A and B are shown apart, each in its own frame.
Chain A
């Protein structure tokens, strides 16, 4: 009998014996699946959102220059632009205007921004999908805003941003430069910050240093740093979730251990008979191995598929508030499905490996029972 044949026969026997004890085994598989599902959801969600952040930032400027006054972000004189443009390696520098606005009627913060390209005409705004949903704004309707002088001014909604970009644009209000300056009382000589584009990515640190030397009251933030921070923050959130779920994994491992250690008299008898009719210890161990594979594979695949559906089709309803952060205007979005080898391997180490380690000694105990003692007892 070839080795493959032997494995096949033992696997066949194992599956039949698992099916014979459906109730007991399905309880284990349900718990196992749940553990995989929870861990996989946390992992998939954080990784997908990490990727999303990376994709969003690919269009961001290489460097952002902000002015600091007493350690706080302050308006920056637009005269600084000339000094920055003089630095070799800088291909362009533009001033940006943006800020936040609290809308008391909706109870939410909006992000107001003057787009660098194609700003809306004066007196009108373009709003994000989440904001339109919450405030009930539609195209051509009027939106009231309070200016810094306390007056009410209204803008016509000229367009609603498509929802596919809603992760970044849910709370966005785009308006013209003149409207922005009037509303917040920012004079023409100042801007919120400066966006700098650089020809060669490797020169970014050098240029940042030169800017810091020429303009000592500013700080520069590079796109890579923002990316790195997002990466670290989302990885960290995913890690925290996993660490919190360690208790669940531990409980599951104890459950699996207990179940594997407490073989019923019937199962012991079965193994005893198998050995009496000529099975060797290694055959019984092989059977136990296939049993573990069948249980783990079923639970692992079910758990991963359920987590996939949960995260990518149901927007991770269970964890969203914890992992995404806190905001009134939740963007409604679907993450781009993304799974790769490391995620699956990490899940494997967090679920299948502990399960296997917990059951290996009980399996061996079962496999080395004395047929004579079992059948007599």
Chain B
């Protein structure tokens, strides 16, 4: 275990967030079992009041998750100087088997928590808590995810071994030195480019149709859900080499470094926000017919779709700008 300030901070944050979600999950079970809007019992009143607390807890948890995601990558990056063979976050995360699962869990739990907040926003618009059961079922998925993330993250940090000078000789000879520079995965470029532009065009057109006419919502949601992984894969495969101006460097994390004008923050924030908006739209589409939501939900969905489209467009435009103004020519 490395007693690094950022590690202490991350673990503190994760444990507190998990605690909040555990509390929320216990309450979710109560709601699922006892919720009855027609009843005026003491318990029902208590439950209705507590829904406010849960919304607040979830909003905070999501905010903390977002900062934690970036801090985690940063910490992995700064740890690389203490681990043999690691040159950036890619190497540090490979140091044991928990590194990558921790990142993936963090991203997934951020997405699901974001969708939860979108559903919550819709639910708050209806006067009769129309989505309350679905919302709390979803919460029962978010909570275990965040807890799993906390455990995996702790395992990752606790099982890190630092290679420092020992008294007999350099540790050099004990460890097998492998060079783990930023060659994560490079998928075939051309099919990925076709997929990227194809999905973007479909999502954009469907999103526009949805915003203007209220049609093709399903296509937009499906496109958004697909675009998220494709955009990340494209970022790694053919956008990042242009940013680094190095054809062999495909690191998804170095983008966050000051050398590259922190462009990674823009990329990831737009991808994830766009993903949450698109997924949220998809989740809410079936509920347009609920009487108490029929009036308010369409405008809410339209605003979500606008946000999602704006994010994906900003992402695509900034990627194109990066490629166009790069000194690298492939």
Contacts and interface: CB of A to CB of B under 8 A. Distances in A.
Given A228-B81, A346-B71, A360-B60, A281 B177 contact: no
Contacts of A282: 52, 124
Contacts of B177: 205
B31 to A, nearest CB: 16
A228 B258 CA distance: 22
Contact of A357 (B7, B8, B20, B163): B20
A330 to B, nearest CB: 24
B45 to A, nearest CB: 10
A353 B169 contact: no
B287 interface: no
Nearest to A346: B9
B100 interface: no
Given A239-B7, A353-B64, A368-B49, A222 B170 contact: yes
Given A349-B12, A354-B16, A342 B56 contact: no
B121 to A, nearest CB: 11
Given A243-B3, A345-B74, A225 B20 contact: no
B173 interface: yes
B204 to A, nearest CB: 26
Contact of A228 (B4, B7, B74, B162): B162
A281 B49 contact: yes
A329 interface: no
Interface residues of A, number: 53
A220 B52 CA distance: 63
A47 B71 CA distance: 15
A356 B60 contact: yes
Interface stretch (A153-161, A170-178, A229-237): A229-237
Contacts of B5: 42-43, 46-47, 235, 238-239, 242, 343, 346
A364 B59 CA distance: 14
B316 to A, nearest CB: 25
Nearest to A358: B16
Nearest to A345: B71
B290 interface: no
A202 interface: yes
Interface in A51-80: 54, 71
Interface in B75-92: 75, 78, 81-84
Interface of A: 42-43, 46-47, 54, 71, 202, 205, 208-209, 212, 219-222, 225-229, 231-232, 235-236, 238-240, 242-243, 281-282, 285, 289, 340-343, 345-350, 353-354, 356-357, 360-361, 363-364, 367-368
Given A228-B165, A354-B16, A360-B20, 16 more contacts: A46-B5, A209-B172, A212-B169, A220-B169, A225-B165, A225-B172, A227-B81, A228-B82, A238-B5, A239-B3, A243-B3, A282-B52, A345-B70, A346-B8, A353-B64, A356-B60
Interface of B: 2-10, 12-13, 16, 19-20, 49, 52-53, 56-57, 60, 64, 67-68, 70-71, 74-75, 78, 81-84, 124, 162-165, 167-173, 177, 179, 258
